[in-house]
Structure 1
């Protein structure tokens, strides 16, 4: 796995086995690796129907007519619904801006937009019926880039737009604009001895989760509906679904079903409303499962971006200024674009001290596929650009690239370009030192002494395209900064219900939250927290549903911080109630009940000196203690819309990477040999899960560096590669060695001192790989992903 740093001892309280700080195993791990785990697509209900969605075949067109008669006449079809069949006046939804129609009305705005839905007694019947729906389109010109979106005569993607961002954007086809202004860039530029500029392009990445969108809607006797769904945010889904159905929220009961990955792609709705509509219309359970082709159209992607950067530095290597412009393509609907803009702009300077900053970030409405949340959103695109700039500046000044970064690295107390002081450890220079100090992999490890080359270790791998001729090694470094949690004044909180009782003579804790377990390991961490705070061995994790308060989204690296904080808070309240029970039952028998600091450890009540006062089972006998409580982190505030100043983020997290690559310069093939990472995690609540998160995020960054990109035809705005045959993702053969050095520097504002960890490694892995390829080839390479033609000069 690699090396780990010396942990800071910040864990207090219980010594119960399986508590925080231990590498406890996932309760769902064995089921997943043996294929027995039940994902949402595995659900079944007696007498259920199958739903199917008809999607637009063009990206921008008026809908002249829709004829559903042939579909309705097909045997086995129970319902066909279009926009005109929706039951309420609320026909749109959206995370922040409700601009997305449940079914297209008037016109379609992107390739693959839902137009009609069908319910039938067999999935193939549903598909055939959907194919018989006749839609007449009158095609419109497509908006695909900033020039076409903001031209004086540009067609508006959303006519009559009236959301709260419209007042501060220069054109209705711009979703959101956020400037970050600090100091005086023009004056600072005059003092720069070196100025470097760069134009960068970041491709559209898919979350590429392995479990396609799926769910089961079951109508209930009270006129409501029960929805079993793979999602990232149950309560956000609920708030968007209920108004469209015309139901109060308490009649839309949602339960999380098995999630086969997410990475941001399940933060928006997909088939949730469609399944519920069909179930309520037919009075029967309705299941919808996307195939892979549909999945590419059924969820948002990572925003592609154009980034223009200018940096200045003095001859001794100190940064003087930064001027940047970041243009994000949000596609046809807003989704999370405003938040992505906020992240890209506020983190656009990277983890460096630069006093004079002028950054502008915008997101466009276009007819390209909708884009929204994906791991590290906004910060990933910016990191790609500013890290390339750091290499260029270091070369211009004549400094070592790592030393240049360390010289300009932020630290605790640094003032961000937003005016916010970094008030927790920011070990940027130390992370770079650590990752540089890690041993390099041996040269030409693909060539054993006296033996033929092992083609698996060469660029091109098992395609057997090279035996080592023209293969050059390169090494590159990068570091990034990512915010943790919801930002810019969003009320970021979570809720946890904790119950403690005696079952079978043993004290048992039950933890109930609405947290979406999407693979990040929250189900493990919540049990560890309960064991630590309540001193019990047996912890049950209740299935996530909407019968408990919101846990927010499983995104923004926030769940361990916020929902973990809520579990800790509720456990502490339960503990006090349990101790009060004990005081009432046993307090007269031992003076320590009244005078000592009392703890729960190993199923017993003990003093802070370790003296056992009572068994928890005896304290709880015949009684159950339950608490449901919310927990919030420190409040943030919106960025000023003119200057970008404000306390916008509650926590920052940092990771650094060193990439080692081998490039066949004749064939344009790349093999990433190693991606070493050093990351500060504050406190590793589950060290094994921490390493897994870092390695997983690193691999996704590798994917977008050298292979992953959704290709959209610039003339038609149609997706050209909606399959895993043509959209390439890293396999185990592409994944390099990923040694990890974990640093634990506590953030005093966070539970147990922890930091969110899931997104930071996705930032710096991509530019590190690009830096290594540049080092091997001498090419500028200002776009991602790098393709063979970019390396051979045939692009």
Structure 2
């Protein structure tokens, strides 16, 4: 990956004061290296798919070959007769009356019952002594399907007499949706958009199509379930949310939660695709039935069916503006295809609706967002969910308005940019820095990359720098450069009244004559760097150098999901809180032991720094080793951010979000307009991170999110056949993701404008760059070609008209 090492870090504003242990090496603000980094790059790191247990069996899932059908019969006799098969399970073998699960709505069957609702739905399970035996046995299960009419889009979903994807809905959303095939609907109405429209001097409209994107994590779904002597089960799994999995797994198994013990295993990426259950329940069922450990590992083909994807969307937008460039109103409708089961669709709808205006001041809005039930693949959480689709549309609209007014597209955005104090369309004030205009100024001011980079000394062309790259399909004769800009807004943390909190257990003791801190949380480390940040917080707050990160499991309180850019904010906050409580206990011990010998113990503010107890004036009172002696101090504490509230179901008003993050991009592309090939030369990003706890990790997150946005701009899309609702490209041969040869230079400009409400002033960062990189690339391609290009991804035929 061609990454620009140059990073500008610009403090502005005052972060939360950091005093404790500020001199301890490896603390907050330093670029510390990942403890698992060397193991990962050398191939020695143990992922969940690497686990092994003596005498273990292998699990296999049989999935539906059709998208919507009645199951007339299932014959497992041939599968059971295969030598080496220990169990074959169907819906009738499930042990309890609880046979469904789900993040919010329990509408997903553990195994299909009565009918299947999408291509690839699990129907039966096999456990055998070898993975190939399990696959062969699964192939021998005979299922008689009677195919049913398909629901594939809004027209078929809401037509009079439409077939219902779920016949007997009883969830809490059913009372406010206009049709049972709509999962959730969220309107947002503020001001009078119809009246404001009359003040507009220019009006632009657009219909936009956003394709279905896959998380494309490198490690497929996998885990190991081990039956226990107490009748319970130990599950080692790659996931994003241990306690949410536990809440869904235990009732289906008929076990109390304390008998389902979960431990996080090595996770090979997630990006939202591991928030939902995949193989967890299946492996546990097989383990409990056979009495043997059961390992399940999806291959890449099965992984495309084993997790949810990003919602494809159709977005209908209308904006108005005055002659001097001020936005007058917004009217929009966003239709998200949620597929066969709800997953995170309600939350995605809330995000899409509440962030559909973008980082702009628009007082009069009329917004509606809906998610559909269809027979397409289930969709749910993916990095930046809901906000990504909306950003693609509203940023295209900004360019259209600027062009119609004859204004510079960056200046037009800056003229309408929100700032601290702006009122969101939901009525919520933005009460932390919102440097939208400044981010745009910074990316526009960056020097441009050199023209015609493929031309090198001696007249030889460097084909790697040309559209088409090493395929050598163009020599630059018809290549045109384009430049595009975009900026986005993303919420941080869970929203709409969800009780968003995290728990951390911190222990300090003396080991081998050295004070050591241990941090134990249930946070899923999926590559975001929490294992590094938690150690940095402990060093900063406790003044110790040596910090051990305990493996994440359900033996400690919930840390919530590794999603919504929330973990550093919430679990980092919990670690900080627990460290502060540990520090108080350490000082109590010190006062008890040394108070009579030194009056400062009783009177001065005491700090921990560099493994010592000091006064606020820096006077050393005692080593931690002397204070603790044979004692250990341990605290488990929760930390909550400030509360949110649900959006009103009629008007969309409410303080629904905790924090907002902002990123802006400038894309520079070169397009062969004759062949329809695109080369993204540079994707410069400017982002406000509040406080860079680990600058190296911050830049990595920004560059990673930027690259995922690039992928959906020019190559990534799951293709679903509209006639059969079957996935046509479930492999990395046909589903393309950016490689090192596709990834441009990504220079990053980091601002640090502290949010006084957040620990250390930090701001969640992982998702915002995924929003604005996609529309920036599309804007640059439009600039090069003059084409409208209202869908993602852009393909060669869209550029050549063939």
TM-score, structure 2 as length reference: 0.98
Q: Is the 8 A contact 2:16 2:761 kept in 1?
A: no
Residue by residue over 1:613-658, the C-alpha shift from the partner in whole angstroms, topping out at 9 and shown as x without a partner, is 1000110110000000000000000000000000000000000000
Deviation at 1:594, TM superposition (A): 1.5
Residue by residue over 1:319-366, the C-alpha shift from the partner in whole angstroms, topping out at 9 and shown as x without a partner, is 000000000000000000000000000000000000000110000000
**The 10-residue stretch of structure 1 (677-686 or 606-615) with the greater mean CA deviation from structure 2:** 606-615
**Against the structure 1 CA distance between its residues 275 and 20, is the aligned structure 2 distance closer, same or farther, given a 3 Å change threshold?**
same
Deviation at 1:449, TM superposition (A): 3.7
Deviation at 1:12, TM superposition (A): 6.2
Q: For the residues of structure 1 that align with 2:15 and 2:591, how far apart are their CA atoms?
A: 36
Deviation at 1:7, TM superposition (A): 8.9
Unaligned runs of 5+ in 1: none
Deviation at 1:667, TM superposition (A): 0.3
Q: For the residues of structure 1 that align with 2:23 and 2:187, how far apart are their CA atoms?
A: 49
From 214, 236, 245, the equivalent of 1:237 is 245
Deviation at 1:11, TM superposition (A): 6.8
Residue by residue over 1:543-600, the C-alpha shift from the partner in whole angstroms, topping out at 9 and shown as x without a partner, is 0000000000000000000000000000000000001100111111112112211110
**Against the structure 1 CA distance between its residues 32 and 5, is the aligned structure 2 distance closer, same or farther, given a 3 Å change threshold?**
farther
Deviation at 1:168, TM superposition (A): 0.3
Q: Is the 8 A contact 1:11 1:752 kept in 2?
A: no
Deviation at 1:289, TM superposition (A): 0.1
Secondary structure at the aligned position of 2:736 is classed as coil
Q: Runs of 4+ in structure 1 displaced over 2 angstroms?
A: 4-14
**The 10-residue stretch of structure 1 (225-234 or 609-618) with the greater mean CA deviation from structure 2:** 609-618
Q: Is the 8 A contact 1:5 1:741 kept in 2?
A: no
Secondary structure at the aligned position of 2:133 is classed as helix
Q: Is the 8 A contact 2:21 2:542 kept in 1?
A: no
Q: For the residues of structure 1 that align with 2:402 and 2:372, how far apart are their CA atoms?
A: 33
Deviation at 1:451, TM superposition (A): 2.1
Q: For the residues of structure 2 that align with 1:349 and 1:382, how far apart are their CA atoms?
A: 8
Deviation at 1:10, TM superposition (A): 6.2
Deviation at 1:607, TM superposition (A): 1.1
Q: Is the 8 A contact 1:180 1:346 kept in 2?
A: yes
Secondary structure at the aligned position of 2:59 is classed as strand
- 1:766 equivalent to 2:798? Answer no
Residue by residue over 1:56-80, the C-alpha shift from the partner in whole angstroms, topping out at 9 and shown as x without a partner, is 0000000000000000011000000
**Against the structure 1 CA distance between its residues 626 and 734, is the aligned structure 2 distance closer, same or farther, given a 3 Å change threshold?**
same
Q: Is the 8 A contact 1:485 1:556 kept in 2?
A: yes
Unaligned runs of 5+ in 2: 1-11
Q: Is the 8 A contact 1:22 1:685 kept in 2?
A: yes
Secondary structure at the aligned position of 1:75 is classed as coil
Deviation at 1:452, TM superposition (A): 1.4
Q: For the residues of structure 2 that align with 1:15 and 1:65, how far apart are their CA atoms?
A: 69
Q: Which residue of 1 aligns with 2:235?
A: 227
Secondary structure at the aligned position of 1:593 is classed as helix
Q: Which residue of 2 aligns with 1:189?
A: 197
Secondary structure at the aligned position of 2:595 is classed as helix
Deviation at 1:450, TM superposition (A): 3.4
Q: Is the 8 A contact 1:10 1:753 kept in 2?
A: no
**Against the structure 1 CA distance between its residues 611 and 11, is the aligned structure 2 distance closer, same or farther, given a 3 Å change threshold?**
closer
Q: For the residues of structure 2 that align with 1:393 and 1:449, how far apart are their CA atoms?
A: 43
Q: Is the 8 A contact 1:92 1:98 kept in 2?
A: yes
**Against the structure 1 CA distance between its residues 8 and 399, is the aligned structure 2 distance closer, same or farther, given a 3 Å change threshold?**
farther
Q: For the residues of structure 2 that align with 1:623 and 1:154, how far apart are their CA atoms?
A: 68
Secondary structure at the aligned position of 2:146 is classed as strand
Q: Is the 8 A contact 1:14 1:600 kept in 2?
A: no
Deviation at 1:453, TM superposition (A): 1.2
Residue by residue over 1:21-63, the C-alpha shift from the partner in whole angstroms, topping out at 9 and shown as x without a partner, is 0000000000000000000000000000000000000000000
**The 10-residue stretch of structure 1 (428-437 or 584-593) with the greater mean CA deviation from structure 2:** 584-593
Q: For the residues of structure 2 that align with 1:670 and 1:12, how far apart are their CA atoms?
A: 51
Secondary structure at the aligned position of 2:310 is classed as coil
Secondary structure at the aligned position of 2:379 is classed as coil
- 1:108 equivalent to 2:116? Answer yes
Secondary structure at the aligned position of 2:459 is classed as coil
**Against the structure 1 CA distance between its residues 621 and 13, is the aligned structure 2 distance closer, same or farther, given a 3 Å change threshold?**
closer
**Against the structure 1 CA distance between its residues 489 and 631, is the aligned structure 2 distance closer, same or farther, given a 3 Å change threshold?**
same
Q: Is the 8 A contact 1:380 1:762 kept in 2?
A: yes
Q: For the residues of structure 1 that align with 2:291 and 2:56, how far apart are their CA atoms?
A: 10
Secondary structure at the aligned position of 2:788 is classed as coil
Q: Is the 8 A contact 1:206 1:708 kept in 2?
A: yes
Q: Is the 8 A contact 1:212 1:289 kept in 2?
A: yes
Residue by residue over 1:123-144, the C-alpha shift from the partner in whole angstroms, topping out at 9 and shown as x without a partner, is 0000000000000000011110
Deviation at 1:714, TM superposition (A): 0.2
Q: For the residues of structure 2 that align with 1:101 and 1:530, how far apart are their CA atoms?
A: 42
Secondary structure at the aligned position of 2:625 is classed as helix
Q: Is the 8 A contact 1:5 1:742 kept in 2?
A: no
5 Å matches for 1:272-421?
Answer: 272-421=280-429
**Against the structure 1 CA distance between its residues 291 and 311, is the aligned structure 2 distance closer, same or farther, given a 3 Å change threshold?**
same
Deviation at 1:678, TM superposition (A): 0.1
Residue by residue over 1:417-453, the C-alpha shift from the partner in whole angstroms, topping out at 9 and shown as x without a partner, is 0000000000000000011111110101111243211
Residue by residue over 1:737-777, the C-alpha shift from the partner in whole angstroms, topping out at 9 and shown as x without a partner, is 00000000000000000000000000000000000000000
Secondary structure at the aligned position of 2:457 is classed as coil
Secondary structure at the aligned position of 2:737 is classed as coil
**Against the structure 1 CA distance between its residues 586 and 681, is the aligned structure 2 distance closer, same or farther, given a 3 Å change threshold?**
same
- 1:433 equivalent to 2:441? Answer yes
Q: Is the 8 A contact 2:489 2:768 kept in 1?
A: yes
Count residues with an aligned counterpart. Answer: 791
Q: Is the 8 A contact 2:64 2:121 kept in 1?
A: yes
5 Å matches for 1:235-274?
Answer: 235-274=243-282
Secondary structure at the aligned position of 2:26 is classed as coil
Q: Is the 8 A contact 1:224 1:251 kept in 2?
A: yes
Q: For the residues of structure 2 that align with 1:335 and 1:48, how far apart are their CA atoms?
A: 31
Secondary structure at the aligned position of 1:722 is classed as coil
**The 10-residue stretch of structure 1 (200-209 or 443-452) with the greater mean CA deviation from structure 2:** 443-452
Deviation at 1:14, TM superposition (A): 2.5
Q: For the residues of structure 2 that align with 1:5 and 1:419, how far apart are their CA atoms?
A: 26
Q: Is the 8 A contact 1:40 1:228 kept in 2?
A: yes
Q: Is the 8 A contact 1:6 1:743 kept in 2?
A: no
Q: Is the 8 A contact 1:94 1:335 kept in 2?
A: yes
Deviation at 1:380, TM superposition (A): 0.1
Q: For the residues of structure 2 that align with 1:453 and 1:200, how far apart are their CA atoms?
A: 37
Q: Is the 8 A contact 1:10 1:683 kept in 2?
A: no
Q: For the residues of structure 1 that align with 2:776 and 2:156, how far apart are their CA atoms?
A: 33
Q: For the residues of structure 2 that align with 1:286 and 1:478, how far apart are their CA atoms?
A: 48
Q: Is the 8 A contact 1:8 1:744 kept in 2?
A: no
RMSD over aligned Cα atoms: 1.1
- 1:587 equivalent to 2:595? Answer yes
Deviation at 1:5, TM superposition (A): 12
Q: For the residues of structure 2 that align with 1:589 and 1:696, how far apart are their CA atoms?
A: 55
**The 10-residue stretch of structure 1 (61-70 or 451-460) with the greater mean CA deviation from structure 2:** 451-460
Q: Is the 8 A contact 2:15 2:760 kept in 1?
A: no
Q: For the residues of structure 2 that align with 1:663 and 1:396, how far apart are their CA atoms?
A: 24
Q: For the residues of structure 2 that align with 1:588 and 1:386, how far apart are their CA atoms?
A: 67
Q: For the residues of structure 2 that align with 1:717 and 1:704, how far apart are their CA atoms?
A: 21
TM-score, structure 1 as length reference: 0.99
Q: Which residue of 2 aligns with 1:602?
A: 610
- 1:645 equivalent to 2:653? Answer yes
Q: Which residue of 1 aligns with 2:688?
A: 680
